């Protein structure tokens, strides 16, 4: 008999706040290290219930592809749209925890509001912050006493609209 894991909402919030801080401060390798080896990171486009293997997605990455994305953003020298890097602040709210299909996982639902500001890059008269609102779904798996992300889905409010200059990880 397998024992189902549980996670208190306050613990889930602490995990999501840490993840947000790592993303906001461009600590993308440390963020990736919060993931299981078989993790999936998904940002759907047009329909958040579509099958990403059959329909277009903004992002549909496994850990290996995500590692390549992080290299391009941080180390390749080719990410000119983020030179200098944008500053970001994520706000997390409405956190709910529920059992997952697997006994060693929980599903965490939350809302995300991201403000990002890019100074000096576009030479526009008015440089304004860009805002993204989204619902997030994380499946967190307990591995050797640590919670790790086995699945993350970010469903943007404007997933079928204009996404501005999204050259960072949402």
Confidence class of residue 29 from pLDDT cuts 50, 70 and 90?
very high
Q: Does domain 9-156 bear CATH number 3.40.50.720? A: no
Q: pLDDT value at position 46?
A: 74
Rounded Cα distance, 77 and 70, in Å: 12
Measuring CA to CA, how many Å separate 155 from each of 23, 101, 134, 163? 17, 21, 5, 13
Structure-block tokens of residue 114: 């991201």
Sequence ranges of the domains in the chain: 9-156
Rounded Cα distance, 60 and 41, in Å: 6
Mean pLDDT value across the chain = 85
Name which of 165, 4, 145 is nearest 79 in CA terms. 165
The model's pTM is: 0.86
Q: pLDDT value at position 20?
A: 97
Per residue in 78-125, pLDDT tens?
766 666 677 899 999 999 999 999 999 999 999 999 998 877 655 554
Q: Is the dihedral of CA 8, 10, 11, 15 positive or negative?
A: positive
Q: Which residues contact 102 (CB under 8 A, 6 or more apart)?
A: 139, 141
Q: pLDDT value at position 41?
A: 94
Confidence class of residue 51 from pLDDT cuts 50, 70 and 90?
confident
């Amino acid at each position: 008999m397998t024992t189902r894991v549980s996670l208190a909402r306050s613990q889930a919030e602490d995990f999501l706040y840490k993840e947000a801080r790592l993303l906001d401060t461009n600590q993308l390798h440390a963020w990736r290290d919060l993931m299981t080896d078989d993790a999936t990171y998904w940002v759907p486009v047009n329909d958040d219930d579509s099958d990403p293997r059959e329909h277009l997605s903004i992002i549909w990455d496994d850990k290996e592809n995500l590692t390549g994305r992080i290299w391009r953003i941080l180390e390749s020298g080719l990410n000119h749209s983020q030179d200098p890097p944008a500053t970001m602040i994520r706000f997390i709210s409405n956190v709910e925890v529920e059992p997952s299909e697997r006994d060693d996982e929980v599903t965490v639902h939350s809302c995300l509001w991201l403000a990002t500001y890019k100074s000096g890059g576009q030479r526009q008269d008015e440089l304004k912050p860009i805002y993204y609102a989204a619902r997030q779904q994380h499946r967190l798996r307990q591995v050797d006493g640590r919670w790790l992300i086995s699945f993350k889905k970010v469903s943007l409010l404007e997933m079928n609209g204009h996404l501005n200059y999204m050259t960072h990880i949402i």
